[in-house]
A and B are shown apart, each in its own frame.
Chain A
Amino acid sequence: MVEFVLTYRPLFDLICVYTILAFSQYAALRAGLFSLATPGFASIGGYAGAIVLKETHLGPILGALAAALCGVAAGLFLSLPLARLRGAFQSIATIGFVQIMVSLTLYAQPITGGALGFNAIPKVATTGPLVLVVIAIAALLAVINRSGIGRAFDAIRQDYTVARSLGISVSRYFRYAFALSGAIGALGGCLLAYNTYSIQPDVFGFPMLVSVIAAVILGGRSMVAGPIVGTVFLIVLPELIRPLADERLLLQGLLLIVVIIYLPQGIVDSLVHRWKLRRASTVARAEQGERAHGVPLP
């Protein structure tokens, strides 16, 4: 049992960190924002958190807070031109942002260590704190989903023209979504740095972009459980079926195409939808049956 836990603990930590990053991507997609900036936010948070922890005496909690604040700032900066533009432009500019963060962190060698990476970061984010953060963010997102902001996000995601006609300021909510996605993404990057001893610029590149978007698309874009299920699926599946591990990226690419065509709502949302339909039809059938037998409805 002890052996089992020790063997799979790194994998579990990885799932936690990537779930947080997937939450960042989810926060954007849920609001109908076509932002793919999560790896860029994670890069900012990772380096900010690592620098605060190693160069100052503020400690890991203030370090993570500083990282999250940097993420909010980056999100608001991106929202300046992008909050009023349509989807394709948001994707173009945020993919550019991710690539620029990779080349800037490579260039700023005195601060970031360049291609050799930022090394010897103390491992302060162990399994316990990681799980706590995942639960806290999931709870925060669930609260937001049930609030007026969440309903505005839903309206915008389904049709922003309709949302505007209902008096919702689309650009204001896009700004919120950018800030939220930035904060969570930077926190995820910071915890990645606090968990893996060292970070390099290319960790926060295109492969991470694909992983987080694949997790959210696969899991589902409206329920909070979506990104969790998607991340677990994407990380555990190649571990179970070994031959798949070598072709992990090919598998992710194929999965993205197949899921977006045939299961565009993702696993969780589709299951919930089907369950609701079935319950509705059983209730309707029960009512019909009662009426047929002349029993009065309660």
Chain B
Amino acid sequence: MLAQQLLNGVVVGAVYALFSLGLTLVFGMHRILNLAHGAVFMWGALIGYFAVTLAGLPLWAAFIVAVFGAGLVSVALELCVFRPLRRHQGDEFGTIVASIGANLILMQLAQQATNAQTLRFPFGIFPILFYDIAGLRVSLQQLVILGAVAVIVVALLAFLFKTSLGSEARAVAVDERTSMLLGVNPGKVYLTSFLIAGMLAGAAGVILGVAFNSVSYVMGDAVMLQAFVVIVLGGLGSVTGAVLAGILIGMIQTLTTAYISTELSDAVVFGLLFVVLLIRPDGFFAGLHTEYRVA
């Protein structure tokens, strides 16, 4: 029973990790805390839903459409909100405020698109198959989710550390002005990192939407709360940290839901955030970025 719950937690946590990676990358590279990331995630799920129901696409094609759709939403945020703000010398606080506004707009549009209803995918969109592995009941869905997350994380690491655009991105993360002197175009790097962050959020959105079979305009809020804990615990800007902390948070949340209560699991997760901020605010893994304290 405990092992079964832990497995379920790892699967949910892997999706949290996917979502948090986008948030932590954009923060680590550009010091932008994008509070509209949850809305991008929700739009990913929504695009996936409409691709299945309105366009009649198979799930794998809808997934690809949703991933790119969410990437475009994220790029639109960079072009319409964060870039004009930078041009007018907006500070860190300005980006937080502007992203709250963007979150509100994206959520309102989704509320109108869905009539504030919770949407459900058609029954049997994903084959319901179970395997017995070492005494655990593992569904095909869980295996596919774990496989997809693993592939995406490896691809992200390969991009960051093996391609030239990836090393330009890491250079901008260290020092934007110096990297400009070395011939890096920061505008391109911003677009790339927002595109990647949006694609990660969109992938997480479709996966969670199908796994819980529920898509609604408020689905981003709960995930943002988990992601806050994940990125602080993992260290803002750290890929490994986000993956490990995401899985840990998924397990803690599943266990508290199973053994204590659903309503209190949020409070337990927030208590953890508080403790981490108190004892180790730079997280448990070295990130791209270490400047975190005022005193």
The interface of chain A, by Cβ under 8 A from chain B, is 29, 34, 80-82, 84-89, 91-93, 95-97, 99-100, 103-104, 106-107, 160, 164, 169-171, 174, 206, 209-210, 213-214, 217, 247, 249-250, 252-257, 260-262, 264
Bound complex: CA A202 to CA B206 (Å): 27
**A-B contact sample (12 more), CB < 8 A, given A103-B267, A210-B104:** A34-B96, A81-B277, A85-B293, A93-B274, A99-B225, A106-B263, A107-B267, A170-B294, A170-B295, A252-B104, A260-B85, A261-B98
Other-chain residue from A92, A253, A254 in contact with B228 (beta carbon distance below 8 A): A92
Docked-complex contact A87 and B97, CB < 8 angstroms: no
**What is the interface of chain A mostly: helix, strand, loop, or mixed?**
helix
Question: Hey, which chain A residues are within 8 Å of B85, CB to CB?
Answer: 260-261
A84 to B236, CA, bound (A): 17
Q: What are the 7 closest A-B residue pairs judged by CB atoms, nearest first? A: A256-B101, A253-B104, A81-B277, A253-B105, A107-B263, A81-B278, A257-B101
Closest to B274 in A: A81
Taking a contact as CB atoms closer than 8 A, the residue among A34, A104, A250 that contacts B108 in the complex is: A250
| A96:B294 contact, CB within 8 angstroms | no
Tell me whether A86 and B293 are in contact in the complex, defined as CB-CB below 8 angstroms, given that A81-B281, A260-B85, A264-B90 are known contacts. yes
Per-residue A-contact encoding for B211-253, CB less than 8 Å = 1, 0 else: 0000000000100110011011000100000000000000000
Given contacts A91-B33, A256-B98, contact A100 B277 (CB under 8 A): no
| Given A92-B228, A103-B266, A257-B102, residue A160 in contact with residue B277 (CB < 8 A) | no
Minimum Cβ distance to chain B for residue A157 (Å): 9
* Most chain A Cβ neighbours within 10 Å, of B84, B267, B277: B277
**Does B81 touch A at the CB level, under 8 Å?**
yes
Enumerate B80-97 residues with CB–CB distance to A below 8 Å.
Answer: 81, 84-85, 88, 90, 92-94, 96-97
Closest to B31 in A: A88
